[in-house]
Structure 1
Amino acid sequence: MNTSTIIITGPTASGKTARAVALARRIGGEIISADSRQIYRGMDIGTGKDMAEYGDVAVHLVDIAPAGYKYNLFEYLRDATAAEADIISRGRRPIVCGGTGLYIESLLKGLRLPQVPPDEQLRRQLSGKSLEELTHILASMKTLHNVTDVDTPQRAIRAIEIQRWYELHPEAHGGECDPEPARSLIIGVEIDREARRKRIENRLRNRIDHEGMIEEVKGLLDSGISPDDLIYYGLEYKFVTLYLTGRISREEMFVQLLIAIHQFAKRQMTWFRGMERRGFTIHWLPYDLEAEEFTDRIVSLTAEQQ
C-alpha cells in the first residue's frame, strides 16, 4: 500500500462513508471500498451502500460482482491494489473506507495470496456441523481469517478450507507480506457503545420499515438466487431470508438480526484493537465531530506524517 493512501475505518453505523466523502472532496481523493458485502450488485439497502452519499466523488470496488457470487480476499487484494495504482497514476489520492478489518490489515501489510481452490471432499466432511462447532475448529487455526464476517456455516467452512490448503501447501506460508509495508495514515471513527447501539437499532428499523430492505431480499430471491447463497452473506441477508422462507417470524427476524449486528460491531472493534496490538497506529476521532473539524484533523495528521 502506498504511503499517500489514507484509511478511514470503524465499526458499523459510525458514519465512515460521510467522513471519507468529505475528505475526498477536500484533498482530491477517490474512495476504495473496504466492505466485504458492498461488492455485490443488487445488495444495496442491507449493506448500507448509500450511493447518493458519494455524490461526485468516485468510488471503487462497489457493485463489481453479482449477488450470489463468493468474492474472496485474494480477489480483493488484487482489485484494491489495482484501483490504488490507477488513482495515484491520475494524480488523485486513494482513501480506503470500510469496516472489514481483514481487508484493511491485509492491504496495509502488502499481503499477497495464492488463489485457494474449493475442496469438495472437505466441504462434505464439514457439512451438517453447527456454526459453533465450525467456529471452534477455526479458532484453533492460525491463518489470518475474517472472524468478523464468519457468522454462517458456509463462511466458516470456506475459512477452514483455506487454512487446510495452507497446511497441505506449506511453501505458501499463508501468503507473503512486504518486508517493510508502507505506514499509511489510519483514521478510526470512534463511537461509544451506547451511541453505536442506538444508531444500529434506528438504522435497522428505518431499513425495514421505510427503505424496503425486505423487498430487496425478496427481489434477489425472485431473481433466482438461492436462499443458501443469500444466507451465506450473513446479517441482514441471512435473517431476512430466514423470514421470507418461513423459518422465523418477522419479530424474530428483527430481534435476532439486531443482536447479530451488535455482535458484529463488537467483533469489528476487537479486530481493530488487535491491529493496534500488532503494531498499527489508529488515530481515533470522535464520530460526532463537525465534518470540517474532522477533516481538518486528518489533514493535520497527514502533514505530521510527511
Structure 2
Amino acid sequence: MEKYELITILGPTASGKTPFAAALAYDLDTEIISADSRQVYRGMDLGTGKDLEDYTVNGKPIPYHLIDICDAGEKYNVFEFQHDFAEAFSQIKEKGKLPILCGGTGMYIESVLKGYKLLAVPENTELRERLSGHSLEQLTEMLKQYKDLHNTTDVDTVKRAIRAIEIEEYYLNQAPDVNEFAPINSLIIGVDIEREARREKISRRLKSRLDAGMVDEVKRLLDSGISAEDLIYYGLEYKYLTLYATGQISFDEMFSQLEIAIHQFAKRQMTWFRGMERRGFSIHWLDAFMPMEEKIERVKGLLGRD
C-alpha cells in the first residue's frame, strides 16, 4: 500500500469540502491546513465562507491552520502560503499525525504538492501603467498567451489580472528550474458536485450569507479604514458588496452579478483541477452527496486503513 504524507481534499466552492475534511480529521484524529486564498484574512468571514462551526465535530474542536493569519487590506500570496504551509505541515507531522490540506485554491494546492520554487514577485510600475487602461476582458485574453499560467482562478478584477500578468512576466525572465521544497506524496480526494446542484447550492448559500449580515461585514471593514479599492481587489463577494455599499450598483444588480461571478469562479476551479489531472496528479473523485460515513470509509480504504 502506498505511503502518503498528506491527504488533500479539493473541489469547487459549495461542494461541502470543509464538513467532509473536518469529519475525516475527527475520525483520523488529525488537523486541517486550509488552502483558501481569502480565508487567511481576519474579519472577512461571511464573504469568504469560513463557516468555522464546521470545525467542531461531535463537540470536539478540530485544529485548523492558515485561517485568520493576516489583516484585511493586506495582500497575501502563494509565495507566503508555501512557507506558512511548510511550517504547519511540519508541526502536525511532528505530532505523528497525517495532515489534511483542504481548499479550493488550486494554485495554492498545486504549489505545495509539487514543491514549486516560487519567488516574491516585486511590483512592476512600468507594466502596471501600461496596462492600467485595459478592461478585465482584454487582460484575461492577454493572460491566455502565457504558456505556463501560475494563476487563473482568482482573476476576477482588473487589479488581480494585472498582478497575474506581472507575475507571468517576472517568471519568464527570473524563475529558476529548481524546487525550494520537496514534492509531497498526497492522497488527493476531489469532491464532485453536479453542475446544476452546485448552482442551486451557490445561490442558496449566497442568500443565506446575505441574510446573516454579509453587507454589514463589508461596511464594518470599510468603516475600519480599509479602502474600497483594497476590498474590491479581493474579488467576488468583496468586489460586488463594496460596489453596492458605496452606492455604485443597486442591491439587485449586486446580487445577480455576484451570483453569476461565483458560478463562473466554480467553473474555473473545476478547469484548474482537471488541468491538475492532465499534469499528472491522480485525483479520486467522490460524489458530494455520498453519505459522510461512506466518504470517510472510501478514504480510509485508499489509505489502507479499512
TM tier, smaller: over 0.9
Structure 1 outlier segments of 4+, above 4 Å: none
Any conservation in 1 of the 2:4–2:303 contact (CA below 8 Å)? no
Partners of 1:150 and 1:29 in 2: CA distance:
33
The amino acid of 1:279's aligned partner reads: G
Gaps (5+ residues) in structure 2?
Answer: none
How far did 1:178 drift?
7.4
Alignment partner of 1:92 is 2:97: yes
Alignment partner of 1:153 is 2:158: yes
- TM-score relative to the length of structure 2: 0.94
Any conservation in 2 of the 1:113–1:176 contact (CA below 8 Å)? no
Any conservation in 2 of the 1:239–1:256 contact (CA below 8 Å)? yes
Q: How does 1:31-110 map to 2 (within 5 A)?
A: 31-55=32-56, 56-110=61-115
Any conservation in 2 of the 1:77–1:112 contact (CA below 8 Å)? no
Partners of 1:130 and 1:251 in 2: CA distance:
23
How far did 1:152 drift?
0.5
Alignment partner of 1:26 is 2:37: no
Partners of 1:143 and 1:121 in 2: CA distance:
23
Q: Deviations over 1:88-110 (max 9, x none)?
A: 01122210000011111111111
Any conservation in 1 of the 2:38–2:234 contact (CA below 8 Å)? yes
Q: What SS does the corresponding residue of 1:140 show, helix, strand or coil?
A: coil
| Residue aligning to 1:301 | 302
Q: What SS does the corresponding residue of 1:93 show, helix, strand or coil?
A: coil
Q: What SS does the corresponding residue of 1:163 show, helix, strand or coil?
A: helix
Partners of 1:168 and 1:275 in 2: CA distance:
24
Judged with a 3 Å threshold, the aligned counterparts in structure 2 of structure 1 residues 143 and 26 are, in CA distance, closer, same or farther, namely: same
| Residue aligning to 1:272 | 273
| Residue aligning to 1:111 | 116
| Residue aligning to 2:222 | 221
Count of residue pairs brought into register by the alignment: 300
The amino acid of 1:189's aligned partner reads: V
Any conservation in 1 of the 2:206–2:259 contact (CA below 8 Å)? yes
Q: What SS does the corresponding residue of 1:215 show, helix, strand or coil?
A: helix
| Residue aligning to 2:7 | 6
Partners of 2:31 and 2:16 in 1: CA distance:
17
| Residue aligning to 1:244 | 245
Gaps (5+ residues) in structure 1?
Answer: none
How far did 1:3 drift?
3.0
- 2:185 corresponds, among 178, 183, 186, to 183
How far did 1:179 drift?
10
RMSD: 1.7
- TM-score relative to the length of structure 1: 0.94
Q: How does 1:184-223 map to 2 (within 5 A)?
A: 184-208=186-210, 210-223=211-224
